[in-house]
Amino acid sequence: MTGNLTFAYWGGSDGEEAGFAYAKKKFESENPGATVTLKAVPYASFFSSIDRGIQAGNAPDIFRVDYTTIGKYSKNGVLLDVSPYFSTDEIDAFLPAMWGAIQYDGVPYGVPHQTDTTCIVYSKSAFETAGITSVPTTLKDAWTWDEFSEVAAKLRSSLASNKFPFAYDWTLAGAYRWNSWLYQAGGTLLTSDLSASALPSDAATKALDYTKSFFTKKWVPATNTIKTSTYSDNFFLDQTVAMSFVGDFLVPELAAAKTGYQGGDWGATFLPQDAGTGADLGGNAIVALKDTKDPELAAAFLKTLVSEDCMKYFCEQAVELPTLQRLASEKLKYAYRPDVVAVCAEQATTISDTIVAETTVGGFADINTALQNQLELAFHGQSTESTLSALSTQINKALSS
């Protein structure tokens, strides 16, 4: 195969950069005459630049897209249907839920490149000072909400007034991670056919009341709201909090010898559970434009990106989770803290088909914006009833538009 492709992605960690460069080198060596131009764009302006490019007819052939945004593009019919390029055996090599994450109306658009999810990291010395002697080491033993509350209360009692038990990773585009509490409470965001909001509900009321209490009980910093300028990992890095909810992709940052966490030994454990379990579907797909000048070449590069060799290297260097079944069951040689990544990998098993389906529905980008706006208001005093009512109205609008 010969020809030229442009691949756009938002600038990530050094590990991600190395992973993309590795795939480019492999693809070009296996396809003499083919060239892939890598184009890194800041995340803040990434999708606006993609949208402008699509409208102007000069968008990149291939681009990265998070699972919470892919539905926007597949719904609007601008992505390449990759079904002609993948055999049944190749499709079956992926984790079923992850292959489902790139489908819209049963049609696959792009490839599930990697995934990530949230775990809890914590300061061992802060826990020792607070008298917390037992931390779950298996998913089945994860704290219940009541047990998590006890841990938070012990930390609150032992910490200085300007320090806090934890921070949560729901900042800005991560607003949808609040849904983990909803799933843990036994609820869902949407009806089973994904056509309408499932709010208000008893589970949603319980989840929102519980998360609002984080602020009234001073378990989280007052600035750990949705539209803050400080992310959960930064609260942990500057030792404002004793534990934090973070994605596995942040492990390299936390583990860096000179710039990482300087508060002593730190460990990781699982998300709390209530009536059920639940976690956030993080990570990204790689998609090609339907109007790319060479769809076969684009599809071939997509297949290289998710080849076992390239996915293994990318995930090990970037400290993220693979989407191929064989790699998911293999012990990868992660560049940083494989013990922490193992917690995230086990936590990822709680990402149900329902969570995947709701997170990748066509209007989810607008739903996430609604979550940003309404949760911010809720954490600043808006009633639970008003919040869930407004969310329901805005979710239904997003699904029908």
Grade residue 359 by pLDDT with cuts at 50, 70 and 90: very high
pLDDT reported for residue 401: 85
pLDDT reported for residue 12: 75
Q: Which residues contact 372 (CB under 8 A, 6 or more apart)?
A: 172, 173, 175, 226, 227
Fold identical between 3-116+282-352 and 118-280+363-400?
Answer: yes
Residue 239 zone, left/alpha/beta (φ > 0; ψ -120 to 50; rest): left
Q: What is the mean pLDDT of residues 21-42?
A: 97
pLDDT reported for residue 383: 98
Say how many C-beta atoms besides its own lie within 10 A of residue 3's C-beta: 17
Asked if the model's pLDDT at residue 126 lies above 90, the reply is yes
By CB atoms closer than 10 A (0-12, 13-18, 19+), residue 63 is buried
Percent of the chain with pLDDT over 90: 98
pLDDT tens-digit series, residues 88-107? 999 999 999 999 999 999 99
118-280+363-400: CATH superfamily: Periplasmic binding protein-like II (3.40.190.10)
**285: nearest Cα among 305, 261, 304:** 305
Length of the chain: 401
Bond prior to 42 in cis (omega within 30° of 0): no
Residue extents of the structural domains in the chain: 3-116+282-352, 118-280+363-400
**Strand intervals (E) in 85-201:** 103-104, 107-108, 111-116, 118-123, 164-167
Token pair 């989840």 is found at: 207
Cα 114 from Cα 116, distance rounded (Å)? 7
Cα 240 from Cα 296, distance rounded (Å)? 51
pLDDT reported for residue 302: 98
Asked if the model's pLDDT at residue 355 lies above 90, the reply is yes
List the Cα angle 28/335/13 in 5-degree steps.
65
Right CATH for 3-116+282-352 from 2.60.200.20, 3.40.190.10, 3.40.50.300, 3.90.226.10 = 3.40.190.10
DSSP code of residue 119:
E
Asked if the model's pLDDT at residue 57 lies above 90, the reply is yes
Tell me which of 88 and 1 has the higher pLDDT: 88
- CB burial of 12-49 (b: ≥16 within 10 Å; e: otherwise) equals bbebbbbbbebbbebbeeebeebebeeeebeeeebbeb
Helices (H) and strands (E) in the chain, counts: 18, 11
Q: Cα 286 to chain center, whole Å?
A: 15
**At 119, which amino acid appears?**
C
Cα 320 from Cα 305, distance rounded (Å)? 14
Helix (H) or strand (E) holding 14: helix 14-30
Grade residue 141 by pLDDT with cuts at 50, 70 and 90: very high
pLDDT tens-digit series, residues 248-284? 999 999 999 999 999 999 999 999 999 999 999 999 9
pLDDT reported for residue 105: 93
Cα 96 to Cα 173, 191, 242, 324: the distances in Å are 25, 21, 36, 9
pLDDT reported for residue 398: 97
Grade residue 205 by pLDDT with cuts at 50, 70 and 90: very high
DSSP code of residue 143:
P
Asked if the model's pLDDT at residue 11 lies above 80, the reply is no
Radius of gyration, alpha carbons of the chain: 21
Three-state DSSP string of 265-314: CEEEECCCECCCCCCCCEEEEEEEECCCCCHHHHHHHHHHHCCHHHHHHH
Asked if the model's pLDDT at residue 150 lies above 80, the reply is yes
**68: nearest Cα among 93, 38, 43, 36:** 43
Asked if the model's pLDDT at residue 20 lies above 80, the reply is yes
Q: Cα 149 to chain center, whole Å?
A: 25
Percent of the chain with pLDDT over 70: 100
Q: What is the mean pLDDT of residues 189-211?
A: 98
pLDDT reported for residue 393: 98
pLDDT tens-digit series, residues 300-340? 999 999 999 999 999 999 999 999 999 999 999 999 999 99
By CB atoms closer than 10 A (0-12, 13-18, 19+), residue 339 is exposed
Asked if the model's pLDDT at residue 13 lies above 90, the reply is no
pLDDT reported for residue 382: 98
